[in-house]
Structure formats: structure tokens, C-alpha cells
Amino acid sequence: MSKTEEALALAQTPVKYNLPVSINLRQRINLKPRETFFQSIKSCIKIGKFNTLVFAVQQSRQLITCNSDGTDVDYIPLPYIPYFITEVNSNTVAVSGAVYKIVMIINISLCSVTSTIDTSGECWGISYDGSNLYVVIDQKIIQVMDLTDGKLMWKFENDEYPNIVSATTDDDGIVYVINCFTSTVVAVSEDGSLHREILAKSNGLKNPDGIHFDKKENVLLVCNIDNWKAFLFDIKKNIT
């Protein structure tokens, strides 16, 4: 085969993407605030072998934990307003403190803050990969640091991305992004060339802000800011 024929064959080979083809509601969760004043849920995560759900509540400075059916509710008081959450292990989460320029390490079983890490700027989106902690700083820089001592490993900064806040990814590199203003969730392919709106107001979303993909079960957890509703969606995909 000539080089021209090889190039033509390569160009005609379909690119395989794995965007979600089926989104099914598994569980609708109605949470209740412990206090009577207005409160909002900023973010959410699903952790551990017992599938514990964790929600960050800003006005009362606390985390709420419960089972996946909304039962066995616990409240964990925090010294700072919580923003975004990532799992460290089955009993521990890291929570960003945004304007407080701090990351809180929290033991869910003990319901307490075990340590804190100071950051160089406002810390927003946060993710832990088993080795390093990835933190969005000032909504424009991604810093990678050692979880034990907060030592900076490397950072990413690009003027083309001035408003990075948070997102979640699956094992295939698909990125799930919330648009709070339109109450939608969009799935974006690994190379950014394809995207698909997969959830909207018709699915119960109303100003959603928290999103987390559970890679063990292929489940997407989404929570609304104001009405204290959260949803677990089963994600099914095909390679096309």
C-alpha cells in the first residue's frame, strides 16, 4: 500500500468515542437541612465500599453524609465554608476552602478535621488520584501537590482557561461538566472534539452545582444548590 493509500485509509477510519448513550435515574435523594435558615449544597461525592454520599453545605459550614438511599444521616461541622470535595480513601475526603486559601482533610468516620493544607491562592475544584492532590487555584491555575505536606509538585496555567471551577471524569477520559445557569450536564469527549448534553431540567436539575462520577459503578451523582435534591444516574456507553 502506498503512502497516499495509507493516509486515505487512516482518514476514513472512524474515530472511536465513548460518549454516554443511555442515562437512567437510579435514585432520587431528598435531603433535609438541620438548621431552619436558608442553606445551599455546593458539591457532592460518593465514596467507599458502603457507597457513602457526602455533601458540602456552605451556610452552616458542614458536611452531610448519608447512605445512597438518603438514610443514616450525619453532620460534620467545619471551621471554614466548604466548596469542593474529593475522596482520599474510604474514610477520608479533602475539601477546598476557596477564599480561605486552605484545604481541609476530614475523617468521615470520626466526623472531624484531621489536618489542613495552606494554598497559594483561592482553592476551588479539587481532585486526588491516589498520589497527588490537584487543586484549582484562583480559577485559572491547576496546582499539583503532595497530600502529606502540601509540597508543590507542578502547576498548569493558561490564559485561555480563565474560569476553571470544577468537573468530573470517568475511566475513558470523558469529562462531565455542569452549567448551573442552564441546569444542564454536558459530556465532552477526551479530545474535546465532541460533546453531548445528557441531563437537563426535565431530569430534575435546578441550578445544579455538585457533580461526581463513581468509576466503580459507572454512576453519576449530581446535586442541586437550593432545593436539597440529589440524583444518582446510571451511565451506559457504546464505542461508536
When comparing pLDDT for 167 and 13, which is higher?
167
Go through the domains of the chain in sequence order and give each one's CATH number. 15-237 (2.120.10.30)
For the chain, the average pLDDT equals 80
Residue 17: partners with Cβ closer than 8 Å, 6 or more residues away: 189, 190, 194, 239, 240
Is the confidence at residue 158, as pLDDT, over 60? no
When comparing pLDDT for 3 and 193, which is higher?
193
Is the confidence at residue 19, as pLDDT, over 50? yes
Residue matched to cell numbers 441550578: 207
**194-213 average pLDDT score:** 89
Helices marked H in the chain: 3-12
112 φ/ψ angles, rounded to the nearest 5 degrees: -150, 155
Q: Identify each DSSP E strand in the chain by its residue range.
A: 20-30, 41-47, 52-57, 62-66, 74-77, 85-89, 92-96, 102-107, 112-118, 123-128, 132-137, 141-146, 152-157, 168-169, 175-179, 184-188, 195-199, 208-214, 219-224, 229-237
Predicted pLDDT at 10? 38
Predicted pLDDT at 17? 54
Question: For residues 143 and 149, what is the distance between their CA atoms, to the nearest angstrom?
Answer: 14
